[in-house]
Structure 1
Amino acid sequence: MKLELRHLRVVCAIADAGSLSKASSLLGLAQPALTAQLHRIESLLGGKLFDRDHKGARPTVLGELVLERARVLLPAFSRLQEDALRLVDDGLPGDRFRLGATNGPMLGGLVHRLTETHPGAHVSTHVSWSGTDLSVGVAQGRLDYILVGVCGDAPPPSEHGLTWAVVAIDPVFVIVPEDHPCTAQEEVELADFRDMQWAVTPGDGCFGDCFVAACSRAGFTPRTMYEVDTGSCVDLAQSGDAVVLCQPSFRRTPGLVAMPIAGVPLRWRHMMGWDPESPAAEFAPDVLRYACDAYRETVERNPRYESWLPTHPEYGALDYHAAL
């Protein structure tokens, strides 16, 4: 076996995470598999790359050398791939729309509007739980526009020079069974669910920390938080095994109700990003307008949210002219 770029990515991931357990989570690998892979890499390079103990993993002298070279080679390879894709891809602005999105309400509506207004264009989609990974896709020329969510006032991924515009600002609601006693109220207190388990779809950023802080302000420490896909969130809410934290534009599901939380302790910003130096930037205002329209359409699916918005004008879709 020869040393490959993927091996260098593994070494960098371990160094950045500071431990094999954290790196295995980031890489989506079981820790034993990552440990075995590290041993193979060390065999190829002729020595240990990390000293490991209960405090984590620290690069050895050999590890520092490998990391120094890897941090030069990996960005250079990414730039080569990006330049090659742009050179051989003869698609013109308006002929293609490559969309990326995290878990959000607008992607389907955006695809519909693009295919309707640009019937000859090729529209493709890529979904990820990580806004950072999607930003890398734009930086490498694999995606044109991405829709991501960020918690509160946190910034979107900023290391790749993307231009960002806010599409909408949502409060965070909770999903409960429609026969739950709280559904007779206009809104619920976060502390009403102090004895419940919680569920949310996965993502990067500070949302988990902000949720714990909101619970602390409400006077309790939350119990287990399940990070699961959307379908599992629905299952957990329907069974009553968890209260689901959600965007209020969540598509209505029989037997479930999305309820506002008193005081709006958590909020979520939907944002669209693109490379200002790419050909796709020419069509960014149109795509942003379609995304705003798609968001407004999702609001109409939740009458409780639609009736909540007039008394909370700071939420909902932004004027796309103001967003640019």
Structure 2
Amino acid sequence: MELEFRHLRMIRAIGDAGSVTKAADRLGLAQSALSTQLKRIENALGGRLFERGREGVRPTALGVLVLERSQVLLPAMRQLQEDAVRFANTARETGGLRVGATHGPLLGALVDRLAAARPEMALSTQSSSSTSDLVSRAVEGRLDLVLTGLCGHQKVMGDERLEWQEVAVDPVFAVLSQDHPLARARELDLGQLAGERWALPPGGGCFTECFAAACVRAGFLPPPVYEADAASCLHLVRTGRAVSLCRATFPPTDGVVTVPLDPPELSWRQVIGWVPYSPTWGLADEVVGHARAVHADAAALNPAYAAWLRRRAHLAP
């Protein structure tokens, strides 16, 4: 008899439960059937795996060896099974690329570039406000890549089975009404906006926490905010009822201006995640290249950002 995956599961169950009877219950087997199977496994391995006693069983030296190896092999086999299922799900979309993204400025232009570069490839997109939701879809084989953003110093929160590449890191600018007294400033200290009412998108993610921390560093407590969608935030800023924040790639919009913060208290990092060795993994570098080009185009469209980059060009390594 050769040792099989199911045999390791049985041995692991007995070792974890410390009892053949309890292990049989967990595995949905009769106690006698598990005992018989254990004897066959021990005969195949050439020695006893467990010593029986009044209080249950404890592993022998051979049992310890097998249990230790099973701690590596069982997760690896489960991973192999999950990867195979994901690969099969992805393979059904032959020739296609499924992109999942949180709300951000790059997705539309990225699709345009990919469609132009690979007209034969079927592209589809999915959107979610939750990075972890998109990560789960990718791990399950329902997405090929995830495009998302997070505060500049944060690590991506999600399944570590995704491989992440950075697209760009942008400073966060203040958004003011064009009639605001500080609208003509070249740069602002966040503390200069301490008395303002703020309008910010909803959510309790990393950006909310980073904004609160930046306010404290600037010498004031985080103020109450108007929590609203992006269009409503812009309306409140345009009418002078609030100020807001945006990525530096935010395009010029009638009635509002974007002003850099100095020091740049907040930043936003765009990243792309991919499941390694998936059928479309070989496209990762190409897609990241397109995303970086899209970001460069977006940065050039905001005069305030372009000027900010020129002023700091001498600081580049």
When normalised by structure 1's length, the TM-score is 0.67
- Contact persistence 2:87–2:279 (CA under 8 A): no
What is the CA–CA distance in structure 1 between the aligned matches of 2:89 and 2:187, rounded to whole Å? 54
What is the CA–CA distance in structure 1 between the aligned matches of 2:203 and 2:84, rounded to whole Å? 25
Query: What is the SS of the residue equivalent to 2:301?
Result: coil
Structure 2 residue 193 is matched with structure 1 residue 193: yes
- Contact persistence 1:309–1:315 (CA under 8 A): no
- Contact persistence 1:129–1:204 (CA under 8 A): no
| 1:272 Cα deviation from its structure 2 partner | 0.7
Q: For residues 181-231 of structure 1, what are the alpha-carbon distances to aligned partners after superposition, in whole Å with 9 as ceiling and x for unaligned?
A: 212211112122212222233456422122111111111112123343221
Residues 204, 194 of structure 1: alpha-carbon distance in 2 compared, 3 angstrom cutoff: closer
Structure 2 residue 192 is matched with structure 1 residue 228: no
Residues 227, 163 of structure 1: alpha-carbon distance in 2 compared, 3 angstrom cutoff: farther
Q: For residues 214-273 of structure 1, what are the alpha-carbon distances to aligned partners after superposition, in whole Å with 9 as ceiling and x for unaligned?
A: 111111112123343221221121122221111011122111111101100111111111
| 1:149 Cα deviation from its structure 2 partner | 0.8
Query: What is the SS of the residue equivalent to 1:282?
Result: helix
Q: For residues 263-309 of structure 1, what are the alpha-carbon distances to aligned partners after superposition, in whole Å with 9 as ceiling and x for unaligned?
A: 00111111111101211211001100010011111112101101111
- Contact persistence 1:197–1:223 (CA under 8 A): yes
Q: Of the two, which has the highest radius of gyration?
A: 2
Write out aligned runs for 1:161-172 (5 A): 161-172=161-172
- Contact persistence 1:187–1:259 (CA under 8 A): yes
Residues 125, 226 of structure 1: alpha-carbon distance in 2 compared, 3 angstrom cutoff: farther
Structure 2 residue 85 is matched with structure 1 residue 83: yes
What is the CA–CA distance in structure 1 between the aligned matches of 2:212 and 2:176, rounded to whole Å? 19
What is the CA–CA distance in structure 2 between the aligned matches of 1:98 and 1:286, rounded to whole Å? 15
Residues 197, 160 of structure 1: alpha-carbon distance in 2 compared, 3 angstrom cutoff: same
Query: What is the SS of the residue equivalent to 2:238?
Result: helix
CA RMSD between the two structures: 2.6
Paired letter, 2:280: A
In the alignment, structure 1 segments of 5+ residues that lack a partner are 1-75, 317-324
- Contact persistence 1:130–1:204 (CA under 8 A): no
Aligned residues: 238
Residues 256, 236 of structure 1: alpha-carbon distance in 2 compared, 3 angstrom cutoff: same
Paired letter, 1:91: E
What is the CA–CA distance in structure 2 between the aligned matches of 1:260 and 1:80, rounded to whole Å? 46
What is the CA–CA distance in structure 2 between the aligned matches of 1:227 and 1:89, rounded to whole Å? 42
The residue that corresponds to 1:184 in the other structure is 184
The residue that corresponds to 2:281 in the other structure is 281
What is the CA–CA distance in structure 1 between the aligned matches of 2:277 and 2:204, rounded to whole Å? 26
Write out aligned runs for 1:1-324 (5 A): 83=85, 86-87=88-89, 89-92=91-94, 95-203=95-203, 205-313=205-313
- Contact persistence 2:90–2:141 (CA under 8 A): no
Q: For residues 31-51 of structure 1, what are the alpha-carbon distances to aligned partners after superposition, in whole Å with 9 as ceiling and x for unaligned?
A: xxxxxxxxxxxxxxxxxxxxx
Paired letter, 2:169: I
When normalised by structure 2's length, the TM-score is 0.69
Paired letter, 2:106: M
Paired letter, 1:113: R
- Contact persistence 2:86–2:139 (CA under 8 A): no
Paired letter, 2:266: L
What is the CA–CA distance in structure 2 between the aligned matches of 1:303 and 1:153, rounded to whole Å? 26
What is the CA–CA distance in structure 1 between the aligned matches of 2:136 and 2:163, rounded to whole Å? 13
Paired letter, 2:98: R
In the alignment, structure 2 segments of 5+ residues that lack a partner are 1-77
What is the CA–CA distance in structure 1 between the aligned matches of 2:86 and 2:191, rounded to whole Å? 54
What is the CA–CA distance in structure 1 between the aligned matches of 2:156 and 2:82, rounded to whole Å? 25
What is the CA–CA distance in structure 2 between the aligned matches of 1:132 and 1:313, rounded to whole Å? 35
> Structure 1 segments of 4 or more deviating over 6 A?
79-82
Residues 134, 176 of structure 1: alpha-carbon distance in 2 compared, 3 angstrom cutoff: same
Instruction: Please say which of residues 189-198 and 104-113 is displaced more in the overlay.
Output: 189-198
Paired letter, 2:239: S
What is the CA–CA distance in structure 2 between the aligned matches of 1:173 and 1:226, rounded to whole Å? 18
Residues 195, 241 of structure 1: alpha-carbon distance in 2 compared, 3 angstrom cutoff: same
What is the CA–CA distance in structure 2 between the aligned matches of 1:226 and 1:149, rounded to whole Å? 22
| 1:112 Cα deviation from its structure 2 partner | 0.2
Residues 113, 88 of structure 1: alpha-carbon distance in 2 compared, 3 angstrom cutoff: closer
